[in-house]
């Protein structure tokens, strides 16, 4: 992942250099911005901010810097976001077909996914709520989640079924509240997800824990039950870090919000 990001940074810098002279509106993501307020130096700044969020140099941000909200919106709704996600999942495929992955097929091979912005997208919500430029409002976000209208992230939907068909047990570990269980299940099923082994949501006893502690604790329970965690796919570092971990972790892009 880091190598890829570095590579894309280098390539994008070369292109910025080559194209600055000929175009004022050049961007790796989109040739134009609606209101034209984003100039080249701001684009570079915002892309650097985004990359540094992805590699976890920037941690715990509450809002996207105001001057980058439009840029981040462009990215998160662009074909580049889709391509970045697809490449991450392509690596999942390579890993699973590689010789180092010898599943035991005893019912204890496990895989973990996040829910929001990994299986389904909250972008329709953020489009109407400042696109990361406003502090997270759990009340209004949960009201939206209860509508069960989050669309599938198609690239993850495919790999979800591939992994299941390989015989791995799928565990969904989400920071969503336990009170959203039926809405979450309905939403997931309606967009094509089914056949997971367990969906873990945050109950009252987990409220004092931050996301990383809660997710580690949930993985510990799986390990105690004898599961081997082959991989985790998530859009938040807090889903990938902490102990016990997985043999491999795969980070999907998300520069709208950060869950500690």
Ligand X SMILES: *[C@@H]1O[C@H](CO)[C@@H](O)[C@H](O)[C@H]1NC(C)=O
Strand (E) or helix (H) holding 19: helix 2-19
Tokens standing for 79?
A: 């074909």
- Under the binding rule (CB under 6 A), the answer on residue 41 touching ligand X is yes
Label residue 251 exposed, middle or buried (CB < 10 Å: 0-12, 13-18, 19+): buried
Nearer to ligand X, 3 or 135 (CB): 135
Instruction: Kindly write out the interface string for residues 205-234 of this chain, putting x where it contacts ligand X by CB under 6 A and - elsewhere.
Output: ------------------------------
Closest distance of CB 28 from ligand X, Å: 17
Q: How far is CA 7 from CA 2, 3, 12, 56, 96, in A?
A: 9, 6, 9, 17, 24
Three-class DSSP labels, 230-248: EEEEECCHHHHCCCCCCCE
13 scored as a contact of ligand X (CB under 6 A): no
Stretch near ligand X under the rule CB under 6 A, chosen from 39-47, 53-61, 158-166, 238-246: 39-47
Cβ distance to ligand X smaller for residue 91 or 142: 142
Give one DSSP letter per residue of 159-190, joined into a string. Answer: HHHHHHHTTPEEEEEEEEEGGGHHHHHHHHHH
241 binds ligand X (CB under 6 A): no
The answer to whether residue 39 forms part of the interface with ligand X (CB under 6 A) is yes
- The DSSP output letter for 68 is G
Count Cβ atoms below 10 Å from residue 208 Cβ, excluding itself.
8
Q: How far is the CB of 227 from ligand X (least distance, A)?
A: 38
Nearer to ligand X, 97 or 140 (CB): 140
Tokens of 202: 């945050």
Task: Name the residue nearer to ligand X (CB basis): 13 or 137.
Answer: 137
x-or-dash string of contact with ligand X, 132-171, rule CB under 6 A: -----x-xx-------------------------------
- Region from 34-42, 48-56, 115-123, 225-233 binding ligand X, contact rule CB under 6 A: 34-42
Least distance between ligand X and beta carbon 13 (Å): 17
Judged by CB under 6 A, does residue 35 bind ligand X?
A: no
Other beta carbons less than 10 A from residue 133's beta carbon: 18
Question: Contacting ligand X (CB under 6 A), which of 9, 67, 181, 197?
Answer: 67
**Nearer to ligand X by C-beta: 66 or 99?**
66
Query: What is the secondary structure of 89-145 as a DSSP string?
Result: HHHHHHHHHSTT-----SS-EEEEE-SBTTTB--HHHHHTTGGGSS---HHHHHHHH
Q: Which residue stretch of 28-36, 38-46, 47-55, 190-198 sits at the interface with ligand X (rule: CB under 6 A)?
A: 38-46
Q: Using the rule CB under 6 A, is 105 a contact of ligand X?
A: no
Distance CA 88, CA 134 (A): 28
The site for ligand X (CB under 6 A) is made up of 37, 39, 41-42, 67, 137, 139-140
């Amino acid at each position: 992942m880091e190598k890829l990001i570095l590579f894309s940074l280098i390539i994008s810098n070369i292109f910025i250099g080559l194209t600055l002279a000929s175009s004022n509106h050049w961007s790796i993501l989109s040739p134009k911005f609606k209101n034209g307020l984003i100039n080249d130096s701001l684009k570079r700044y915002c892309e650097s901010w985004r990359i540094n969020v992805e590699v976890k140099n920037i941690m715990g941000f509450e809002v996207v810097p105001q001057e980058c909200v439009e840029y981040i919106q462009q990215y998160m709704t662009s074909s580049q976001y889709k391509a970045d996600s697809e490449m991450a999942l392509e690596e999942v495929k390579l890993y699973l077909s590689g010789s180092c992955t010898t599943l035991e097929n005893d019912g204890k091979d496990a895989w973990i996914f996040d829910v929001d912005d990994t299986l389904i997208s909250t972008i329709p919500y953020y489009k109407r709520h400042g696109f990361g430029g406003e502090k997270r409002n759990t009340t209004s976000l949960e009201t939206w989640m209860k509508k069960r209208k989050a669309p599938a992230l198609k690239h993850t939907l495919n790999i979800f079924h591939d992994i299941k068909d390989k015989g791995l047990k799928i565990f969904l570990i989400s920071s969503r509240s336990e009170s959203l269980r039926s809405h979450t299940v309905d939403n997931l099923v309606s967009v094509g997800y089914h056949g997971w082994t367990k969906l873990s949501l945050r109950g009252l006893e987990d409220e004092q824990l931050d996301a990383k502690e809660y997710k580690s604790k949930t993985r510990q329970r799986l390990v105690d039950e004898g599961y081997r965690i082959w991989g985790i796919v998530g859009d938040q570092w807090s889903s990938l870090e902490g102990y016990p971990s997985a043999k491999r972790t795969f980070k999907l892009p998300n520069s709208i919000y950060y869950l500690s």
